[in-house]
Amino acid sequence: MNKRNLAVLGLAALLAGCGFQLRGTGSVNFALDELSVEARDAYGPTVDLVEKTLERNGVRVHPGAPYDLHLVRENNLQRTASYTSAARSAEHMLIFELDYQVRGPGGTLLIEEQVEVQKVSLYDQNNLIGATQEAEQIRQELRREAVTQLMMRLRSLTPTELDALQATAEARAQAEAEAREAERRREAATPASSPLQAPFQ
């Protein structure tokens, strides 16, 4: 191997050691290496996109994972953004909302948040078919953008952080259970007042 090849290999090793990756060749590094995914629509396009994106980034998706990503609800909304001179809607604001939860062992709720993305769509009264097709294409883009934002939030979650949230949730649940039990015992120890009785004549 000549000196030029050695220099190229040395430079490549140096850049890799600094965390440099060529654009388009790297993947997002997730702190979690496994995750369960659940959704109300288990075969819908959103859950399918979420699972494939996780797996593509090295996260093993399977039901036995210690943490569960639950896609609680997704909602497509449409609002009028502007009007024409004839008081007809000229632009529509398309909105995609995705509510999700991260649950730990025993179904303990650890995180509950929402991702929301939106985009304006032109509405042509003279080309309803084209306007409908454009709106559908934008909705698909919004779904992909929402999943991208969801991945950005999930990739920073660490098992240590989730374990801490799990411990906090369990301690809170234990304290609430003890408070309920103390209240039950207090009520049980308090004698019930007897009804007033009329004196015998």
Domain membership of residue 108 (yes or no) is yes
Q: Residue 123 pLDDT > 50, yes or no? A: yes
Domain membership of residue 44 (yes or no) is yes
Domain membership of residue 185 (yes or no) is no
Domain membership of residue 42 (yes or no) is yes
For residue 173, the model assigns a pLDDT of 81
Range of the domain at 71: 29-179
Domain membership of residue 169 (yes or no) is yes
Question: What is the Cβ-side half-sphere exposure of residue 108, based on CA atoms within 13 angstroms?
Answer: 19
Domain membership of residue 43 (yes or no) is yes
Q: Residue 59 pLDDT > 90, yes or no? A: yes
Domain membership of residue 187 (yes or no) is no
- Report residue 90's pLDDT band, with 50, 70 and 90 as the boundaries: confident
Say how far apart CA 142 and CA 171 lie, in whole Å. Answer: 39
- Report residue 130's pLDDT band, with 50, 70 and 90 as the boundaries: low
Residue for token digits 């992909």?
144
* Average pLDDT of the segment spanning 27-31: 73
Domain membership of residue 54 (yes or no) is yes
**Which CATH number belongs to the domain containing residue 163 in this structure?**
3.30.160.150
Between 9 and 108, name the one with better pLDDT: 108
- Report residue 52's pLDDT band, with 50, 70 and 90 as the boundaries: very high
For residue 10, the model assigns a pLDDT of 47
Say how far apart CA 34 and CA 105 lie, in whole Å. Answer: 14
Q: State how many domains the chain has.
A: 1
Strand boundaries in the chain, DSSP class E: 34-39, 60-61, 68-83, 89-103, 109-122
Enter the pTM of the model: 0.69
